[in-house]
Amino acid sequence: MTKGRLHSIETFGAVDGPGIRTVFFLQGCPARCQYCHNPDSWLADGGRDVEIDEIVARARRGIPYYGDDGGVTFSGGEPLVQGQFLLDAIEALKASGIGSIIDTSGTYLDEYSEAAIAASDMLLLDIKHVDPEQFEILTGRDQSTLIALIEIINRLEKPVWVRQVILPGYNDTPEYIESLNEFMTRIRTIDKVELLGYHNMAESKYEKLGLKYRLAGMKPMSAERLKELNKGIKYERK
């Protein structure tokens, strides 16, 4: 049976997809996003070994609370890095009557990715940045992977919640929101768009890991400003 690497588990998650969810944060990520709040999930050999049976057993504990909308979310790290394990876990959960969501940064694809996406119920897709150059500066990865992922989403007609982190003085302008609106016309199956305000709560993690926090000094995003920017979001499922 396929083994994976697990960073952590969150129970009763209410912000990682619809309903109440058990969130499995898988280990390993190729991106180095400047505002990442889980830098300890980057290395593929971090975390601990986990088997499919444990994933299913932990997820089943939440069945009384999932209702019609809840289930499991695989986050990270970047869950698609562990494509075979992710696919096997989603299929095992489905056999137990539990649905799964993949929370992806659009920074990694391999030969298992499309099958895992096809088996999932929906995706949470973090856009990072609409401009290819800024995308690479922000994540250390080429935006072409995100574009290829969007092509898979459209081909599979997979429902998507789009997420965009908003950073003060960086992309917190009406002009950026308009460019985001334009970018999102590439995705035909958007059900929801979430603007997420930047916070610096992970800064201490970087210090403990001996890593430089490149956004040191940036203040958290204003909730009032975020609410105002949300008014400019436009999308239509096609």
For 118-160, write each residue's pLDDT tens digit.
999 999 999 999 999 999 999 999 999 999 999 999 999 999 9
Percentage of the chain beyond pLDDT 90 is 96
pLDDT tens column, 180-190: 999 999 999 99
| Residue 237 pLDDT exceeds 90 | no
Whether the CA torsion 119, 123, 126, 129 is positive or negative: it is positive
Q: What separation in angstroms does the CA of 167 have from each of 84, 118, 219?
A: 34, 32, 9
What's the rounded mean pLDDT across residues 3-21?
Answer: 97
Instruction: Name residues whose C-beta falls within 8 Å of residue 203's C-beta, 6 or more positions apart in sequence.
Output: 213, 216
pLDDT tens column, 69-96: 999 999 999 999 999 999 999 999 999 9
Whether the CA torsion 22, 27, 33, 36 is positive or negative: it is positive
What's the rounded mean pLDDT across residues 24-53?
Answer: 96
- The reported pLDDT for the residue numbered 107 is 97
Whether residue 168 contacts residue 221, with contact meaning beta carbons closer than 8 Å, is answered with yes
Whether residue 71 contacts residue 121, with contact meaning beta carbons closer than 8 Å, is answered with yes
Which of 17-21, 85-89, 213-217 is predicted least confidently? 213-217
Please identify which residue in the block is written with the tokens 């401009």: 131
